[in-house]
Structure 1
Amino acid sequence: MQIIKRNVELRVDDSLMRVYVAAPKPEGRYPGIVFFSDIYQLGGPITRLADRLAGYGYVVAAPEIFHRLEPVGTVIEPSDLGRMQGNDDARRTAIAHYDADTRAVLDFLKSESSVLPNKLGSMGFCIGGHLAYRAAFQPEVKATVSCYPTGIPIGKLGKGVADTLQRTGEIHGELLLVFGTLDPHVKEPDRHTLAQTLEKTGVRHQILIYEADHTFMRDDGPRYDPAATDAAWNELISFLKRVIG
C-alpha cells in the first residue's frame, strides 16, 4: 500500500513536540499506532520502520521523545558520542513527561478523521519498546508491540525509578514482545522476569525470540539481521491484524 508522510506540531507542557506521521494513501479509516523510537530519535532507520508499518494499513504517529531537551528535528547519530547524548537525554526526562507525550499522541490519533478511534495500538524499539509497554496502560490501547524493551525489570527509563513492571496488571489489551538471544541489554533473566510477570498478572501476550542482537531491526548498523527482521514483521503484522485489524 502506498503511503503519505507529514510532520505534525503538538504542544505538550508548552514544549514543541514534532510528530512524524505516516499513513496509507488510499482514503479510508485505519487503526492508529503511537510509535516510539530508540534513543537516536527519528532518523532514517526509524522512519523507514514507521513507513513500513503504515504500508500495512495503519496511521503511524512517531513523536520526538526528547523534545524537551533537543531542538525540533534533532536526529542523534548512532555513535559513541550519540549514545552518550541519547542516554543522557533519557536520564534527564521525567517519567511523567514520557507518559504525557504518549497521552498527547493518542489524543491526536483519536482526533484524526482517518483513524478508527477504537482501534489503537503502540509499538517501539529499545527505550521505545519500554515506552510502548507503558502506553499499554492507557485503556484505549488494544495492541502493543514491544521490541527489545530496555530497563523494565529494574525501572530504568528516565529521571527516577519507573514503576512499569509493577503496573503490568493495568494492561487490558494484548502484548507482543520481540527479543534477541544475543542482546546484551535485555538478557535472559530480564526476559524471564517479564514473562513471569505477564503470566502472573494474566495479561494476554506472546513472546518472540530470535537468535539476534539488540536493535536487530535497525537497518543501518552491524547488528541488523534482515532474516530475523522479516520473520518478526510477519509475526507482528499478523498480531496487529488479529487484534485491531
Structure 2
Amino acid sequence: MLIRSDEKNDIETPTGPMRVHLYRPVGPGRFPAILLFSEIYQVTAPIERLAAMIAGQGYLVAVPEVYHEYEAPGCVLAYDQAGTERGNTLKYTKPVGQFDSDVASLVAWLREHEGCNGRFGAFGVCLGGHLAFRAAQNPAIEATACFYATDLHTGTLGGERADGTLARCSAIAGEIMMVWGRSDPHVPYEGRRQIRDALEQAGTALEWHEVDGQHAFLRDGAPRFDAALFLQGMALTSALYHRVFIRQV
C-alpha cells in the first residue's frame, strides 16, 4: 500500500503548539489512527520508517514531537552523547501530566481529521513505550504496542520517584502488548517481573513477549539493530492491530 508522509501539523495543547507528523495510505479513506511515540531523540529517520511501515498496512499514523515545550518544531536530537544527554534530561524535566494532556489534545484533533475513522491505537519504543503505556490509559485507545518501555518499573519519568504510570494500569481498557529484550540493561528481569505482576493483578488484556535481544533492537542502522526481531516485532504489532481494528468477530 502506497503512503504519503508529507503532512505536518502544529496542533494546540495546554502547554503550547505541538508538531505532529502524519503518515497515511495514499488516496481517499478513513483509517484507525495510531499514536506513535518516539525515543528520546524525537522524530528521527528510524522513527519515520517505523511510522511508514505501520501506515502502509492501512492506518493513519500520528507521531508527535514529545518535547515540544522545550525544543523548536522539527528538532531532531542526534544519536550521540550530546543528543542522548539532552533527551534524557528532558524526559526527567517534563512533568508527566503534560504527556497526558498531549495525548488528549492529539486524540481530540485526530477525531476531526479527514483521514481518521474515530478509532485509536498506540505504539512506542523506549521512552515512547512508556508514553504509549500512559496513552493506553486514555479510554479512546483500544490497542497498544509497547517495545522495551523505560522507567515504568522505577517510576522516574518526569523526575518523580513515583510517576504513577504503573499504579494506574487498571485504567487500561483496551489490549496491550509488551515486548522486551532479555539483554536490555534498562529493564532487567526484576523490573519486567514487577511490570507484568502489576498488569496481571489489574486483569489487563495482555500480550507479553520476551526475546533474545538488546535495548533498541528495532532501531535500524544502529549497532543493536536485529533485523529478525524487527520483522517479528512488526508481525506481532500487525496481528494485534488487525485483531482489534480489522477482523470481524
Which TM-score band applies after superposition, normalised by the shorter structure?
A: over 0.9
Residues 15 and 69, structure 2, Cα contact 8 Å, conserved in 1: no
Cα distance in 1 for partners of 2:11, 2:223 equals 34
Matched ranges for 1:33-112 at <5 A = 33-112=34-113
Matched ranges for 1:201-220 at <5 A = 201-220=202-221
Residues 49-99 of structure 1, C-alpha deviation per residue, up to 9 Å, x if partnerless? 011110011100010000101111110001111110100111110111111
Cα distance in 2 for partners of 1:237, 1:187 equals 27
Matched ranges for 1:13-28 at <5 A = 13=14, 15-28=16-29
Residues 123-179 of structure 1, C-alpha deviation per residue, up to 9 Å, x if partnerless? 111010000000011111000001100011121211423101100001000000111
Residues 133 and 146, structure 2, Cα contact 8 Å, conserved in 1: yes
SS of alignment partner, residue 179 of structure 1? strand
Shift of 1:219: 0.7
Cα distance in 2 for partners of 1:188, 1:159 equals 23
One-letter code of the match for 1:99? D
Residue matched to 1:154: 154
Residues 37 and 132, structure 2, Cα contact 8 Å, conserved in 1: yes
SS of alignment partner, residue 158 of structure 1? helix
SS of alignment partner, residue 121 of structure 1? strand
Residue matched to 2:115: 114
Gaps of 5+ in 2: none
Cα distance in 2 for partners of 1:58, 1:88 equals 32
The alignment's TM-score, normalised by the length of structure 2, stands at: 0.95
Shift of 1:185: 0.7
Cα distance in 1 for partners of 2:233, 2:209 equals 8
SS of alignment partner, residue 12 of structure 1? coil
**Regions of 4+ moved over 4 Å:** none
Aligned length: 244
SS of alignment partner, residue 26 of structure 1? coil
Cα distance in 2 for partners of 1:26, 1:190 equals 44
Residues 155 and 166, structure 2, Cα contact 8 Å, conserved in 1: yes
Which is worse superposed, 8-17 or 199-208? 8-17
SS of alignment partner, residue 145 of structure 1? strand
Which is worse superposed, 175-184 or 12-21? 12-21
Cα distance in 2 for partners of 1:201, 1:12 equals 31
The percentage of counterpart residues that share the same residue type is 34
Residues 23 and 60, structure 2, Cα contact 8 Å, conserved in 1: yes
Residues 211-232 of structure 1, C-alpha deviation per residue, up to 9 Å, x if partnerless? 1110100112101000011011
**How big is the alpha-carbon RMSD for the aligned residues of Structure 1 and Structure 2?**
1.0
Residues 164-206 of structure 1, C-alpha deviation per residue, up to 9 Å, x if partnerless? 1100001000000111111111111111111111111100010
One-letter code of the match for 1:226? A
Cα distance in 1 for partners of 2:232, 2:92 equals 33
Cα distance in 1 for partners of 2:52, 2:41 equals 17
Cα distance in 2 for partners of 1:144, 1:101 equals 17
Cα distance in 2 for partners of 1:205, 1:13 equals 32
